[in-house]
Structure 1
Amino acid sequence: MIHSMTGFGKSTVQLPNKKISVEIKSLNSKNLDVNTRMPSQYRAKELVMRKMIAEKIGRGKVDFTLQVEVTGDETSTKINHEIVKAYMYELRDLASISSAENAKLLEIALSLPDAVSTDAAEVDESEFKAIQNAINEALINLNSYRKDEGLAMEKDFKHRIEQLQLLLKEVIEVDPERMQNLRTKLETAVEDLKSKVDEDRFEQELVFYIEKYDITEEKVRLANHLSYFIETLNAKESGGKKLGFISQEMGREINTIGSKSNFAPMQKLVVQMKDELEKIKEQMLNIL
């Protein structure tokens, strides 16, 4: 079963005096890349939180957001009165603002540096335990999202592989006609020379020339790759990198068939095969 690298998970925990919200969003990436946003007092626990995410995510570009809203009377935020007064005095003097506009002046002063400070108190263990539980729940939700996305992608992959198998069947059906067409062209070319030709030598050269355009091996290998892709897709542990390698081999065989075909009906089929494979490769970038 495959999983998408795209996912979203959210969890909220209500403590006596705080509301904690965790959001985790993931997108496709070759490796694990975690970006975190959280209040400064929780940075001491960041490595622990990153490890939790890494164990459950695998790989992908991950945005982790921790928000804490104080709902009780207790707060660690304080207004620096003296600094705010100094800001207001300077602003009033600079812009000649009247006392009637003090409310607007206060709003500006509070937005300036050092007007408000937050005590960086240590995170209580019981609070951090609640945060860990919220992270685990968000990760479960995210991986559930990834699984559902993976099921949709798996269905699409199987449809594309089925189309490739049908196109390969058509290639096999038109191949005898292609070879006969090639043989006829060579015989006609020799007749146009209006010269006597050693029949045995001509037959040897004809066989040698036709063998250069033989695609029997490519047809067999492509059929095997298509079957192996489905087998890997249905495996309990299925990875995007392995499926990516198989799709590369499929592309190599399709390209070789195209370069050897030298026959318009077959080349048309090859173009259709390349189109289906390209759609598979686009989706492949998002598989975990």
Structure 2
Amino acid sequence: MAQSMTGFGSALNEDFLVEIRSLNHRFIDISIKMPPSMNEHEIILRNIIKERFKRGRFDVSITFANNKTPVLKINKELAKEIYNAYRELQKEFSIGGEIGIEILTNYKDIIMEEIQEYKTENLLTAFQEALSDIETMRKREGDLLHDEMKKRVKLLMKMNDDVKKIADTEVVKWKDKFTDRLKLIIDERMIDHERIIQEAAIMADKLDISEELNRIENHLKQFLEVMNNDNSIGKKLEFILQEISREVNTIGYKSGDYAISTLVIEMKAEVEKIREQVQNIQ
């Protein structure tokens, strides 16, 4: 079943608060913000997301639970080395001035965050729970998109059938119209009906849209089949919509019938509405 790419999930335990947001993206894009002391787990967390999802942008926030304030400490050894280096520079080049605290503040490594104790198991558990939460929301949204797209696809099928019915009479209309115009110019007895039939056959070949209509019907059936798959389907649906749009444009180009042109405009509008919904499907 279709899965949306937008959602939110969170989980809290004794050590961590994990919050994850996902948005639309052509591929999979992951951003993780967490205390620097936990950076060693980033690759593992990224791989977990990639195993469970195929598309979307994921913004992950991991903080210590219960508003634990990180304990900061000064790397005095590093501060001493930096200070002495500046003093030596002053002596060697006879540079005046005072070496103040503002110089040391430019070095971020001087201030370190004391590593807090935590259980890696609690981190992974909270992370998986947050992902399950967001997956539930994405599936729920996906079900709504699935139902809405199914309605629009069935509407497109009906429009396609309506065009078929009109197209069956289009050549006859053209033949009658052409004959009526000839009657205004020459005597009816001088009209070569066999020639008119030949011209009608040539025009019928130019106006024939049966192949396009059949391809649209097949593409729509394929669209419904893909929608019912559990795997990543967004890109496949986008490709099928491109093919449908191409066939609809061809029909609009070939046909000069006002009723068909009106239906073509409506079909284009429906295809665009479906395309907007597909862009949010994994």
- Specify the TM-score bucket, using the shorter chain as the normaliser: 0.7 to 0.9
Aligned equivalents of 2:172 and 2:193: distance in 1? 18
Q: For each residue in 1:182-202, what CA deviation from the matched residue of structure 2 results, as whole angstroms up to 9, or x when unmatched?
A: 122222333344274544333
CA contact (8 A) 1:232 1:238 kept: no
Residue aligned with 2:119, SS: helix
Aligned equivalents of 1:75 and 1:282: distance in 2? 44
Aligned equivalents of 2:198 and 2:157: distance in 1? 34
Tell me which residue corresponds to 2:18: 22
CA contact (8 A) 2:10 2:17 kept: yes
1:180–1:256: structure 2 CA closer, same or farther, 3 Å change rule? same
Aligned equivalents of 1:286 and 1:261: distance in 2? 34
Is residue 201 from structure 1 mapped to residue 223 from structure 2 by the alignment? Answer: no
Tell me which residue corresponds to 1:249: 243
CA contact (8 A) 1:77 1:118 kept: yes
Residue in structure 1 matching 2:50, options 54, 76, 99: 54
Mapping 1:123-272, distance limit 5 Å:
127-194=119-186, 196=190, 198-237=192-231, 239-272=233-266
Aligned equivalents of 2:140 and 2:56: distance in 1? 17
Q: Which stretch shifts more, 170-179 or 24-33?
A: 170-179
RMSD: 2.7
Structure 1: runs of 5+ lacking an equivalent? 84-108
Tell me which residue corresponds to 1:284: 278
1:191–1:276: structure 2 CA closer, same or farther, 3 Å change rule? same
Aligned equivalents of 1:207 and 1:216: distance in 2? 15
CA contact (8 A) 2:72 2:111 kept: yes
TM-score (normalizing by structure 1): 0.79
TM-score (normalizing by structure 2): 0.80
Residue aligned with 1:205, SS: helix
Q: For each residue in 1:26-60, what CA deviation from the matched residue of structure 2 results, as whole angstroms up to 9, or x when unmatched?
A: 11111111111111111122222222222222221
Tell me by how many angstroms 1:235 deviates.
2.8
Aligned equivalents of 2:52 and 2:2: distance in 1? 15
CA contact (8 A) 2:175 2:196 kept: no
Structure 2: runs of 5+ lacking an equivalent? 80-101
Aligned equivalents of 2:106 and 2:228: distance in 1? 58
Aligned equivalents of 1:229 and 1:64: distance in 2? 33
Tell me which residue corresponds to 1:104: none
Is residue 39 from structure 1 mapped to residue 35 from structure 2 by the alignment? Answer: yes
Tell me by how many angstroms 1:156 deviates.
0.4
Residue aligned with 1:140, SS: helix
Q: Which amino acid aligns with 2:122?
A: A
1:120–1:54: structure 2 CA closer, same or farther, 3 Å change rule? farther
